[in-house]
C-alpha cells in the first residue's frame, strides 16, 4: 500500500518529505475524553451544594436564639429598606451578606439550625468541615477556602463551616516554621473572602473563645445555642419520637424532662434510639416503648457522660 493511501491517526507521515505544518487542530480520536470542565464547575464538584434537611420548626429553640435568627432573616428579607432607604449602605457597602456564628455545647443543634436558616432563605447549603479545607501541603488550604466561597457564589448556596474554631482560630504571633506561616496565610485568606463574599455564611463552634478577634468583628451575629432547659428537654422528647414509634402516646414526658437535666438534644436522640432497640426485642403486645425503656436508656447515656468522657468534644 502506498503512503498516500495508508490510514493514519493524528498527523500524516510521509517517507518522502516532512509533513507540512498546518494551523488546524488534529482531530481527536473517537474515544478521547471530553474536555475538562470549566473552573466554576470543578469548584462546584469539590464543594457541592445540597438541599437543607431541616426547617426552623424542626429545631427546639429558646426565645433568645429564635429572636437572633429572626433578626438575621429580617436583615436579608428587608435589605432594600434597610440599605437603600434607611441609608445603611453608607456604613455597610456589602449589605447583601449575612455572617452568623452559632456557638455552644456539642449536641445542642447548631448544625441543624444552620440548615434550617438556609431552608428558610430558600437556598441550598454547602457544608464544609475542617478536614475538607485543611491540607498537609503548604499553600493548598488557602486555595480550598477560596474554592469553597466560589462554589457558594456559583451555586447560590449558603456556606456552612462546621467546627469553625479550627478555621477561625487565633493567628500565630511567633512564627517559627513554615506551618505557622501557612496557618496565618489561611486565616488572612478567610478574612478576605468574608469581606468580599456577598452571601450567607454560617459557622458552628463548640469553642467560641478560640476564635480570633478579627473574625469576631466580621461576624455580625453571634448566637449562643445553650443546653435545653426543662421545657426544652420535654419538647425535644416530644419532637424526636417518631409518630410511628409504638407506645409513644403513653410516655410520661414530664418524668423524662425531670430525669434528663443537663442532657442535650444529641443525647436525647440517643436515648430514644436505645429505648426503641430495647422494645423491638420483645414480642406481641409487649413490643412497645415504655417509660422503663426510656429511663434505662437515659441512665446509660448519663453514665457514658460521667465515665467515658465529657460531652465537650468535636461535632455538634
How does pLDDT run across 12-66, given as a tens digit for each residue?
Answer: 444 444 444 445 555 554 544 444 444 444 444 689 999 999 999 999 999 999 9
- Other CB atoms within a 10 A radius of the CB of residue 197 amount to 18
Grid coordinates representing 102? 452559632
Q: At a CB cut-off of 8 Å and minimum separation 6, what does 150 contact?
A: 40, 43
Domains and CATH numbers, the chain: 43-224 (3.40.50.300), 230-301 (1.10.8.60)
Q: How far apart are CA 297 and CA 115, in angstroms?
A: 29
Grid coordinates representing 20? 507540512
Q: What is the pLDDT of residues 204-218, one digit of tens each?
A: 999 888 898 889 998
Residue of higher predicted confidence among 177 and 223: 223
Apex 88 CA angle, 83 and 91, nearest 5? 135
Cβ contact 113:100 at 8 Å: no
Task: Give 160: exposed, middle or buried? Use CB within 10 Å, 0-12, 13-18, 19+.
Answer: buried
pLDDT, position 38: 41
pLDDT, position 170: 64
Q: What is the pLDDT of residues 248-281, one digit of tens each?
A: 999 999 999 999 999 999 999 999 999 999 999 9
Q: Which of 296, 249, 304 is nearest to 273 (CA)?
A: 296
> Any alpha helices (H) in the chain, and if so which ranges?
39-46, 63-77, 79, 110-120, 130-133, 140-155, 178-196, 213-218, 230-240, 253-259, 265-279, 291-307
pLDDT, position 185: 85
pLDDT, position 309: 66
Q: At a CB cut-off of 8 Å and minimum separation 6, what does 244 contact?
A: none
- What is the average pLDDT value for the chain, to the nearest integer? 83
Q: What is the pLDDT of residues 144-180, one digit of tens each?
A: 999 999 999 999 999 999 988 888 876 545 445 545 5
| pTM of structure | 0.77
pLDDT, position 134: 79
Q: Which of 239, 304, 218, 231 is nearest to 261 (CA)?
A: 231
Q: Which of 226, 236, 207 is nearest to 66 (CA)?
A: 226
Q: Which of 140, 143, 151 is nearest to 45 (CA)?
A: 151
The single-letter DSSP state of residue 112 is H
Q: At a CB cut-off of 8 Å and minimum separation 6, what does 304 contact?
A: none
Grid coordinates representing 80? 432594600
Amino acid at each position: 500500500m502506498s503512503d498516500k493511501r495508508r490510514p493514519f491517526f493524528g498527523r500524516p507521515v510521509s517517507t518522502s518529505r516532512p509533513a507540512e505544518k498546518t494551523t488546524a487542530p488534529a482531530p481527536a480520536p473517537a474515544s478521547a475524553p471530553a474536555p475538562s470542565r470549566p473552573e466554576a464547575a470543578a469548584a462546584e464538584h469539590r464543594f457541592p451544594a445540597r438541599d437543607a434537611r431541616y426547617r426552623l420548626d424542626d429545631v427546639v429553640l429558646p426565645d433568645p436564639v429564635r429572636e437572633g435568627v429572626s433578626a438575621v432573616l429580617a436583615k436579608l428579607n428587608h435589605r432594600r429598606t434597610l440599605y437603600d432607604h434607611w441609608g445603611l449602605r453608607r456604613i455597610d457597602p456589602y449589605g447583601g451578606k449575612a455572617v452568623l456564628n452559632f456557638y455552644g455545647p456539642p449536641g445542642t443543634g447548631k448544625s441543624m439550625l444552620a440548615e434550617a436558616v438556609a431552608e428558610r432563605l430558600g437556598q441550598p447549603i454547602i457544608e464544609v468541615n475542617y478536614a475538607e479545607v485543611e491540607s498537609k501541603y503548604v499553600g493548598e488550604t488557602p486555595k480550598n477556602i477560596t474554592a469553597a466561597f466560589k462554589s457558594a457564589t456559583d451555586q447560590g448556596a449558603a456556606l456552612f463551616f462546621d467546627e469553625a474554631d479550627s478555621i477561625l482560630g487565633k493567628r500565630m504571633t511567633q512564627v517559627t516554621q513554615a506551618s505557622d506561616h501557612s496557618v496565618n496565610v489561611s486565616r488572612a485568606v478567610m478574612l478576605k473572602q468574608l469581606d468580599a463574599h456577598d452571601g450567607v455564611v454560617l459557622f458552628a463552634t463548640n469553642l467560641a473563645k478560640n476564635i480570633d478577634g478579627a473574625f469576631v468583628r466580621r461576624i455580625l451575629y453571634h448566637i449562643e445555642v445553650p443546653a435545653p432547659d426543662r421545657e426544652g428537654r420535654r419538647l425535644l422528647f416530644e419532637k424526636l419520637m417518631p409518630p410511628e414509634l409504638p407506645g409513644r402516646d403513653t410516655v410520661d414526658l414530664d418524668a423524662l424532662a425531670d430525669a434528663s437535666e443537663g442532657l442535650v438534644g444529641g443525647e436525647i436522640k440517643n436515648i430514644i434510639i436505645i429505648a426503641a432497640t430495647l422494645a423491638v426485642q420483645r414480642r406481641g403486645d409487649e413490643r412497645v416503648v415504655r417509660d422503663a425503656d426510656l429511663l434505662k436508656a437515659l441512665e446509660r447515656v448519663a453514665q457514658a457522660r460521667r465515665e467515658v468522657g465529657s460531652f465537650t468534644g468535636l461535632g455538634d
